[in-house]
Structure 1
Amino acid sequence: MIFKKKSSAAQAVSSSHRLGLRELWTDRLGSWSIRSLQVLLLLTLISVTVFALTQLKLVVIPVLIALILAAAASPLVVWMRRHGVGRALSAWVTLLGGILVLGGLITAIVFAVQDQWSDLSDSAVEGFEQLKSFALDGPFPIDQDALDEAWNAVVDFVTSATFGLGAIQGVSAAAQVVTGILLGAVILFFFLKDGDRIWEFFLRPMTGERRDRGHRIGHTAVRTLGGYVRGTATVAAVDAFGIGIGLLILQVPLALPLAVIVFLGAFIPLVGATVAGILAAVVALVTNGWVVALIVLGIVVLVNQLEGNFLQPVVMAQSLSIHPLVILVALTAGTILGGIVGAVLAVPIAAVGWAILKTWNENGEKPAPAGKKLK
């Protein structure tokens, strides 16, 4: 009897111990622990994915750029197909037309720079001498020896092995850029020609609601990306036209290249157009003096205010309805991961992600009204 009582007591202790282990993972703290582990696993997966994408950026960046450009050109391709133009021909016309426009723009910039380069270089030397005189004789004079030491440091760096290694790395980077451009052109052609078929291929294993959601995601991504690029191009063209006209009236050298830089800079929200406008003001300062530089700066501020308060809310309302803080965070993350190209791609990717989240269950089951039970 004593042995049986001891055995029963041991079983009770063992049973309570097993129940305690079970409760350890099923109580509130245990549920939070499991959720924390899930979050950590998800963050680890995201980190590994981002690391892998950054290592393959020579392929990832051309694919993303080609996808964005194909989405922007999709209305033209669809219009040509509706009027009897074949898939391959419509893709070739769109691709070659874009290359011709881009090539013509680059040619105009090169000729403009060649025509005004000598005047600009002379004005730059004169402006540098003025800045040097201001630094030596201004209200906060700098010692001549300090300037000479700084200049000698720059010369030593340029003639050092470190600069030569950087130049070699620059050549390697240029080769990667050329490779990326060629790869992006090929990918863009196939996206223009068979973009819908490629997406259908990925949706083949899905059925029912999952397939419908896949179609919604595809349409949403193309609509958002295309609207973003077309809207940004419209805003950028207005910025470049306004600032370019002001530079021409004020007879600032390189007005056309500076207007193109403003146009390209506008594709980086919040900071791109402003930085490009400041660059135009610096050129005006070097070549035309303080008064013209201040006028150019005023034109830049005025154009940016008109664009930000009147044009952008109308043009970008549907394609970029995300908070400026999200844009700033996306810009920072994109710049860290991909440099200038990452900054350009970060905002449209964030906009597409937000649009997909909003339409994820657009045609799915809606929650039952309050006070009613689901059958």
Structure 2
Amino acid sequence: MSWIYLDNNATTKIDPKVLEAMLPFLTDSYGNASSMQHRIGREASQAVALARQQIAQKFRVKENELFFNSGATEGINTVLRGVPQAYKRKGKHIITCQTEHKAVLTTCAQLERNGVEITYLPVNHNGELDLQLLQDSIRQDTILVCIMAANNESGVIHPISAIANICQEKDVLFFCDATQLVGKQEIDLQQIPIDILTFSAHKFHGPKGAGVLYVRRKRKPIQVPPLISGGQQENGFRGGTLNVPNIVGCGKALEIANTHPQVKQYRDELEKQIKLRIPEVIIHGEQAARLDNTSFVAFRHIKAAELMTTLSHIAVSSGSACTSGLRDPSHVLKAMGVSDDDAYASIRFSLSKFTKKADMEQTINDLAKAVQRLRSSSPIWQLFKKGLIE
């Protein structure tokens, strides 16, 4: 039985072209990018400059607005911890959303213990924000709005252009965790006035441990103190020796990233076949704008953990990889009004450009058989069929 990987929102296979670009900087050109006195140091520095240029061109921004780091979690911590420190004279109010990644929510909880006031915006049953509520929630002392571009569990895409315009009108900084959207859809930062944005390379076939923080250059400079102090790397914004191979991989991965129409076709066919062949399923956020590669499905009256064990040859997840060790139901689904039972019955399928049609056909067949087998021996399913439970 062949192995099938459908957990690409957690991480992706590195693209062979990306690995090829990285290899010289793991072998012969291993210099420190700050060591400009010799050849291999200069080679490393030039490679970092090229990666910065590749990323700047993709987003249509200036190269000096981009700062390399270890990934989106570091970017989130840098901004959420730094902005309240820099803007404490203006206020201590931050707006975010109940369905944000745990990197945001955990950091916000820590900020609250230090006196920062956080407004957590709700979402509707499709995982969508109320933009009027967002606008009404912005106050004189609001210093930051932190909303992700696309949800890592449901795949629901937020209207980041509209959010950016609201924040611009209200003169409030907009910070966007674009980790799941980058590499899947174009983001033109000349057209969308996002102030600060972060992402990780490993979500679009780049290496783990590499990410970028974008900070827009404005007449009144945005103040974000460094999270990691050290040398003058990244213009003093992020100390530490630059991870040249991973930075090279990040730049290359973004340069070659583009849309793949077959991904949406496979995802749509998956959902169509699930609804045709398996009764009592819920596709979370189905009516919302979603990432083309993501489907989060509840197979009612079955535990997702049991289903994933049965389908051990298929890599899927029951939500965010960052919370997979928790016993609590998905905070994203709970915010969408999903019951605990249906949340515990939910599995996320996330595809990539490397997903094959044969993979999806086998997944659909094996999934239908596994659900039928588990339900046939489930007392809860028998009670449901008799109409004794909903």
- TM tier relative to shorter chain: under 0.3
Larger Rg: 1
Task: With a CA cutoff of 8 Å and minimum separation of 6, indicate the structure with the bigger relative contact order.
Answer: 2
Task: State TM-score, norm by structure 1.
Answer: 0.24
Structure with the larger strand share: 2
Structure with the larger helix share: 1
Task: State TM-score, norm by structure 2.
Answer: 0.23
